[in-house]
Amino acid sequence: MTSIREMRDGVRNKKLKAKDLVSEALKKAHDAQPKYNSFISICDESAMKAAEHVDKLVASGKDPGPLAGVPIAVKDLLCTRGHRTTAASKILDQYIPPYSATVVEKLEEAGAIVIGKANLDEFAMGASNENSAYGAVKNPVDPTRVPGGSSGGSAAAVAAGIVRAAIGTDTGGSIREPASFCGITGIKPTYGRVSRYGIIAFASSLDQAGPMTRSVDDSAIVLETISGKDPRDATTADIAVPKWSENLKDNVKGLRVGLPKEYFADGIDPEVRKVIDNAVQLLKAQGATLVDVDLPLTPHGIAVYYIVACCEASSNLARYDGVRYGLRTKDAANLLELYEKSRGEGFGAEPKRRIMLGTYALSSGYYDAFYKKACQVRRLVREDFLKAFAKCDLIVGPVTPGPAFKLGEKFSDPLKMYLNDVFTLGAPLAGLPGLSVNAGFTKEKLPVGLQIIGPHFEEQRILDAAHTVETHL
């Protein structure tokens, strides 16, 4: 498959037709659906109409945009005007938004064409994409294994070669983990870099959308398209969006690369450790300086994250009550029963679990002990990273302790599943940009991602380091 750069330039130069690119992507999506279940909805009609519009713009000499004719998939957590948006939940099974998320609007204005809504863990809650009301997604690298979550459908669509790019969201690692498991690149930008308007909320102080692509260059191009201040989202930063793709370089000479001992402790799969060590030595060979740093609160990140995220989820998901939003039960004798049955029938096990945890932690007598304390420790997690960045320019390590695990292997043990997030939670808790780039494979040919975390709004720095790893490995 050609790169995004080659696709868009081919369409703009009339060497390629957007209609042909989209037609091919749609065929691949339908053919692969029984194997990987990467989509909840495939948008045949609207995608072909959009492709024809791009081709007409090119034919008339008008600018079709920087992503002209590029087929993309969008996680079904992002609202798409006129297209069903489910968050992979029965409670939103028939929801058709009257508006699109800012990210979707920016992509379409740039000429990109949404061919489908990608599967995910319900309300983005999960690390394996087995929590979807529409069935588990399977990893194209090995269909007996999970693709990672919660953006597993987006990762699978890219890894299977259906699309060159997809949009995921990352609350606690939901872009980086599936990118690692599927052998692609995925970047979670700095919190506030990309608008959350029109993205169905899980944990509002953590959620952030980002690209999942076949290469670092592709990620840079998509990221600069979707980034920027949005008056409809007060949490977006009023800061210029650099041309990361134009400034991308294979050069880490003089860069101080931090190695947190907490990310290289016992418990990491030896095969994963070998791949990560090899990538670290590559960076050193290319001129980077290796620096030991400490992130002492890493072991507490899981507790902090799951209290903060579940509390925010409890608040955000309260609106789905069968009256204001969401599925309404057909069998209720009174208002209380309507609420109980609508939510009971609409939500899956994982959202119920997190709603109950969050509601408990926010309840009278427990708020100070749980939520308030978690917020205080979250601030200390951020300070750990800031202290580390006083000694280094980037932090690197594994994305997860092991490679993609078997379908069903951890599904019945939520705690075991949550522990898989130990290395990815720090970046969102601190609002930092983080990236996963494929750094190699285990003996079983399972991909292993190198995680690269940078200071706030230093996406160029992590993209350059990832580009160096990609180029030389």
Which value, to the nearest 10 degrees, does the dihedral of the CA atoms of residues 363, 365, 370, 376 take? 110
Query: 3-state class of 366 per DSSP?
Result: coil
Task: Please give the Cα distance from 394 to 180 (Å, whole number).
Answer: 19
E strands, 6-122, where? 39-42, 71-75, 113-118
| CA–CA distances in Å: residue 171 to residues 90, 247, 371 | 21, 28, 17
Task: Please give the Cα distance from 94 to 96 (Å, whole number).
Answer: 6
Among candidate residues 170, 405, 438, 396, the one with its CA nearest the CA of residue 262: 396
Q: Indicate if 3 belongs to the active site.
A: no
Three-class SS of 401-452: CCCCCECCCCCCCHHHHHHCCCCCCHHHHHCCCEEEEEEEECCCCCEEEEEE
Query: Of 19, 28, 75, 106, which is the active-site residue?
Result: 75
User: How crowded is the C-beta side of 272, counted as CA atoms within 13 Å?
Assistant: 23
Q: Indicate if 406 belongs to the active site.
A: no
Query: Of 89, 132, 174, 342, which is the active-site residue?
Result: 174
- Tokens for 99, please give them: 């508006």
Q: Indicate if 174 belongs to the active site.
A: yes
Cβ within 8 Å of residue 89, ≥6 positions away: 122, 123, 133, 346, 347, 348, 351
Amino acid at 280: V
Among candidate residues 196, 127, 153, 137, the one with its CA nearest the CA of residue 400: 127
Task: Please give the Cα distance from 289 to 259 (Å, whole number).
Answer: 10
Q: Are 147 and 181 in contact (CB under 8 A)?
A: yes
- Would you give the distance in Å from CA 120 to the centre of its chain? 10
First to last CA, the chain: 19
Query: Of 150, 154, 227, 436, which is the active-site residue?
Result: 150
Active site residues: 75, 150, 174
